[in-house]
A and B are shown apart, each in its own frame.
Chain A
Amino acid sequence: MASKHITMALAGNPNAGKTTIFNQLTGARQKVGNWAGVTVEKKEGVREHKGIQFTVVDLPGIYSLTAYSMEEVVSRDFILKEHPDVVVAVLDASNLERNLYLACQLIELNIRLVFAMNMVDMAKDKGLLIDYEQLARLLGVPIVQTVGTKGIGIEELLDKVREVVEGADSVSRHIHINYGPEIEEEIQTIKGVLKGKTPEFAARYYPRWSAIKLLENDPLVIKELASCPKGDMVLKQAEASRTHIKELFEDEADVIITEARYGFISGALKETVKLSAVAKRDMSYEIDRVLTNRLLGLPILLFFMYLLFQTTFILGEYPKSWIEAGVAFIAGVMGHVLPDGLAKEMIIDGVINGVGGVVVFLPNIVILFMGISLLEDTGYMARAAFLMDRVMHLLGLHGKSFIPFVMGFGCNVSAIMAARTLESRRDRILTILLNPLMSCSARLPVYVLVAGTFFPKHAGNIIFSIYLLGVGIAVLMGRIFSKTIFRGEATPFVMELPPYRMPTFKGLIIHAWDKAKAYLQKMGGVVLVFSVIIWFLGAFPKDVPLSMDYEAAKATLEERLAQSGLSEEDSRAVKEEIANIEQKEAAERLQASYIGRIGQAIEPVIRPLGFDWKLGVSLLTGFVAKEVVVSTMGVLYQAKANEEEDLSGLQAALKKSGMTPVTALAFMAFVLIYVPCMVTIVTIWRETGSLGWAGFAISYLIVLAWIVAFGIQKIGGGIYGFVGG
């Protein structure tokens, strides 16, 4: 039985292998969420080891503990306010210098620390001979060597954490990084005032750390101090000290301090790291010469993107058809088992059709995400960002925004969440606003249907042009936004280029599982609710005047069917007749329902685009999920549209409806642009933290969609008329 409990926080640079270590420590026993009030992911897991229950909190990847980014603030706050028993810093041994910068800042906090020296195998391959014992002694922090991808050192890490918590390890000692006599003097002065005037504050955090932070002009420490009685006296001293340093060195105190930290690191490394003559050739270097090549780089990138999407669709087909069969099976069972009535209707027509229609895409989504994780974990995404930087500048953004845009072609929801990696809020919001223009996979069924009907010989090219249209409009809107609401240069592009690595299978599985869970949660949540609402709007009111007595007509036909002596052909014809009548009734009822009325109410707005009320209603239902557009069209145009192979009925019906190829183009363009599904809208709201941006996104997209569709209708119609088509 677990007699003791230890909380450990995992900190470290992004790309240091922290996530791999976290996965190794906690396996599938982890929980993913958000840090309170911010859109930074929080991961927590548990592990039992030698009778002790470890709670592992994965802090966001950070390079430093200043207060300039949400990730840093979240990490810092957790360490300072939640007081984990130990902080384990995961350091990349092959990249020691920069990784030690964060380590130094952690040392300054005067907390219980353990360093997990990760990727020691790569360091060795690079020819680095590192004396880890000596380094640990110099830093005053025990070092455990690990190779996260192979699971080496994990148990030793847990043992060492326990030792440190129990005070039983011999290496731990608190050291001070010496900043030079002038700065040290100011630190002492500030400490004095701090302890004298604000003893509560001095008791809250390690005074030396607070003093250093004040010299660095740290906004959070300043804010907290300002709210303490007599805190302003300490702040005044800090200001004086900063000015003094500036006069002495002709540079800001925080610059001096940063350089001093690196000086300390440099010294420590000189004593403990030797470069052996025998170093394996740096494979990453060689690979990069090809992948980031001026000429080859972009074509290779396009090839990988192409491969990604092809795999997603082809591999995803198998599990997708199983799920489709499963949903159909459930629908069938429910049809038999449930007593007739409203509940049954709601469950089958609302829940199963609505949620079922979207859940079938789970395999595609999961595979797409695994593909993207693969690209990220191997390190290739950073190269992609480098290659696309110039193109991104056309939109007023930089290379890092490329990743969310690529993901947008799969599903906008995750793409928008991926925008968290952008440091500047401006870049994040702009990327999020433009993202819906990347045609997500859910819109594809609409294109396939419409293009297949009206441009049978050129369907593929037409669909490709729609995608290009989306990209083109994104560039245009990006430029417009950059010159108006989002004026100012895109923040400079700074990004680490990690060495290429083989991702672990375990890691990929965990990624896939996380995404699948999140997707299913959304299905069970928002989509379920809205499916029911839309069903409701379409099913009521029930008492509507119909053009003919459908019940009587059906009864007559069913009687005929029950007659004996009916030939195969005849009985099939009668069955078809019954099906037709049912469809007609359904369509009429839909027209008279709430949603039908809404559709007819908005018809004047869409008529200039060449759309009738049926298309209008279909577009409205696209709010839930874009795939629903097709199924709604199926109901309204009186044809079965549930099987992809059976589109012929719907296609014929569309042609008969009087829709022209020009209108078809306008319709597809409208679907491309108009508004993303409600899950995406909710995500935009959450990620931007403001309903305003979500509202703005909806507004500008609808207006833009209308304008573009109108343009296509008028210009296309003009050309058509001119050519005499």
Chain B
Amino acid sequence: MYLSDVKNGAIATVRHIDSGCEMYRRILELGIFPGTRLKILQNVPEGPVIFEKNGSKMILGRGMAQKIRVE
């Protein structure tokens, strides 16, 4: 499933990031790559996702969240 599908409060482990553009690097630099564990804080249908990684909170637009495969 994708990051955009994860419910509030759940913890997801990144498996693969689909896109191959500049945003990919940006996401990587922010510390999101395969193996990273993210805790979903606020997932609004049709909206962006707020998650937390090791104490650091971030917002990710839906488009991007739909490209991150997690489990």
- Name A's B-contacting residues (CB within 8 A): 63-64, 66, 68, 94-98, 101, 126, 128, 254-255, 258-259, 262, 284-285, 288, 292, 294, 382, 385-386, 389-390, 398-399, 489, 491-499
Contact: A262 with B31, CB < 8 Å?
A: yes
Does B25 count as interface, using CB distance less than 8 angstroms?
A: yes
Complexed CA–CA distance, A489 and B23 (Å):
12
* Nearest CB of B to A555, in Å: 73
* Nearest CB of B to A650, in Å: 47
Q: Which of B21-38 contact A (CB under 8 A)?
A: 22-23, 25-31, 33
Residues of the B chain whose Cβ atoms lie less than 8 Å from the Cβ of A489:
63
Residues of the A chain whose Cβ atoms lie less than 8 Å from the Cβ of B50:
288, 292, 386, 497
Complexed CA–CA distance, A494 and B29 (Å):
12
In the complex, 27 of the A-B residue pairs with CB atoms within 8 angstroms, ordered by the A residue number, are A63-B29, A64-B29, A68-B26, A94-B55, A95-B56, A97-B54, A254-B25, A258-B25, A259-B28, A262-B33, A288-B41, A288-B50, A386-B47, A386-B48, A386-B50, A386-B59, A389-B47, A390-B44, A399-B48, A399-B59, A489-B63, A492-B64, A493-B60, A494-B59, A494-B61, A495-B59, A496-B59
Complexed CA–CA distance, A499 and B55 (Å):
10
Residues of the B chain whose Cβ atoms lie less than 8 Å from the Cβ of A128:
55
Contact: A494 with B23, CB < 8 Å?
A: yes
Contact: A492 with B44, CB < 8 Å?
A: no
Complexed CA–CA distance, A382 and B44 (Å):
16
Complexed CA–CA distance, A539 and B2 (Å):
68
Complexed CA–CA distance, A186 and B71 (Å):
34
Contact: B63 with A382, CB < 8 Å?
A: no
Residues of the B chain whose Cβ atoms lie less than 8 Å from the Cβ of A288:
41-42, 50
Does B7 count as interface, using CB distance less than 8 angstroms?
A: no
Complexed CA–CA distance, A262 and B58 (Å):
17
Contact: A492 with B23, CB < 8 Å?
A: yes
CB within 8 A of A97: which of B23, B27, B55? Answer: B55
Residues of the B chain whose Cβ atoms lie less than 8 Å from the Cβ of A495:
58-59
CB within 8 A of A95: which of B22, B48, B55? Answer: B55
Complexed CA–CA distance, A287 and B22 (Å):
33
CB within 8 A of A494: which of B26, B44, B46, B55? Answer: B26
Contact: B60 with A492, CB < 8 Å?
A: yes
Residues of the A chain whose Cβ atoms lie less than 8 Å from the Cβ of B61:
389, 398-399, 492-494
CB within 8 A of A390: which of B28, B47, B54? Answer: B47
Residues of the B chain whose Cβ atoms lie less than 8 Å from the Cβ of A262:
31, 33
* Nearest CB of B to A12, in Å: 14
Residues of the B chain whose Cβ atoms lie less than 8 Å from the Cβ of A284:
57
Complexed CA–CA distance, A585 and B15 (Å):
80
Residues of the A chain whose Cβ atoms lie less than 8 Å from the Cβ of B54:
97-98
Complexed CA–CA distance, A87 and B7 (Å):
42
How many cross-chain pairs have Cβ atoms below 8 Å apart between A and B?
99
Residues of the A chain whose Cβ atoms lie less than 8 Å from the Cβ of B60:
492-494
Give A391's nearest chain B residue, CB to CB.
Answer: B47
* Nearest CB of A to B52, in Å: 9
Complexed CA–CA distance, A411 and B37 (Å):
43
Give A498's nearest chain B residue, CB to CB.
Answer: B57
Residues of the A chain whose Cβ atoms lie less than 8 Å from the Cβ of B27:
494
* Nearest CB of A to B15, in Å: 14
Complexed CA–CA distance, A405 and B61 (Å):
19
Give B29's nearest chain A residue, CB to CB.
Answer: A64
Contact: B28 with A258, CB < 8 Å?
A: yes
Given A98-B31, A389-B61, 9 extra CB contacts under 8 A: A96-B55, A97-B55, A101-B29, A254-B25, A255-B33, A262-B33, A285-B41, A390-B44, A493-B63
* Nearest CB of A to B17, in Å: 10
A63-B29, A64-B29 known; A493 and B57 CB under 8 Å?
no
A491-B23, A494-B26 known; A97 and B56 CB under 8 Å?
yes
CB within 8 A of A382: which of B25, B53, B59? Answer: B59
Contact: A497 with B58, CB < 8 Å?
A: yes
The 10 closest A-B pairs by CB, nearest first: A493-B61, A492-B64, A497-B57, A495-B59, A64-B29, A492-B61, A97-B54, A95-B56, A389-B48, A492-B23
Contact: A258 with B33, CB < 8 Å?
A: yes
* Nearest CB of A to B57, in Å: 4
A399-B59, A491-B23 known; A255 and B28 CB under 8 Å?
yes
Residues of the A chain whose Cβ atoms lie less than 8 Å from the Cβ of B22:
68
Complexed CA–CA distance, A496 and B55 (Å):
12
Complexed CA–CA distance, A24 and B29 (Å):
29
Contact: B59 with A63, CB < 8 Å?
A: no
Give B23's nearest chain A residue, CB to CB.
Answer: A492
Residues of the A chain whose Cβ atoms lie less than 8 Å from the Cβ of B33:
255, 258-259, 262
Residues of the A chain whose Cβ atoms lie less than 8 Å from the Cβ of B48:
386, 389, 399, 493
Residues of the B chain whose Cβ atoms lie less than 8 Å from the Cβ of A98:
30-31, 53-54, 56
Give B60's nearest chain A residue, CB to CB.
Answer: A494
Contact: A494 with B57, CB < 8 Å?
A: no
Residues of the B chain whose Cβ atoms lie less than 8 Å from the Cβ of A64:
29
Give B34's nearest chain A residue, CB to CB.
Answer: A259
CB within 8 A of B25: which of A68, A285, A390, A498? Answer: A68
Residues of the A chain whose Cβ atoms lie less than 8 Å from the Cβ of B23:
491-492, 494
* Nearest CB of B to A423, in Å: 8
Residues of the B chain whose Cβ atoms lie less than 8 Å from the Cβ of A292:
42, 50
With most chain A CB atoms within 10 A of its CB, the pick from B30, B56, B64 is: B56
Residues of the A chain whose Cβ atoms lie less than 8 Å from the Cβ of B25:
66, 68, 254, 258
CB within 8 A of B57: which of A66, A398, A496? Answer: A496
Residues of the A chain whose Cβ atoms lie less than 8 Å from the Cβ of B55:
94-97, 126, 128
Complexed CA–CA distance, A292 and B41 (Å):
10
Complexed CA–CA distance, A175 and B48 (Å):
39
Contact: B31 with A101, CB < 8 Å?
A: yes
* Nearest CB of B to A422, in Å: 13
* Nearest CB of B to A702, in Å: 34
Contact: B44 with A496, CB < 8 Å?
A: no
Complexed CA–CA distance, A95 and B31 (Å):
12
Residues of the A chain whose Cβ atoms lie less than 8 Å from the Cβ of B53:
97-98
With most chain B CB atoms within 10 A of its CB, the pick from A98, A489, A492, A496 is: A492
Interface string of B10-24 (1 = CB under 8 A from A): 000000000000110
Contact: B30 with A63, CB < 8 Å?
A: yes
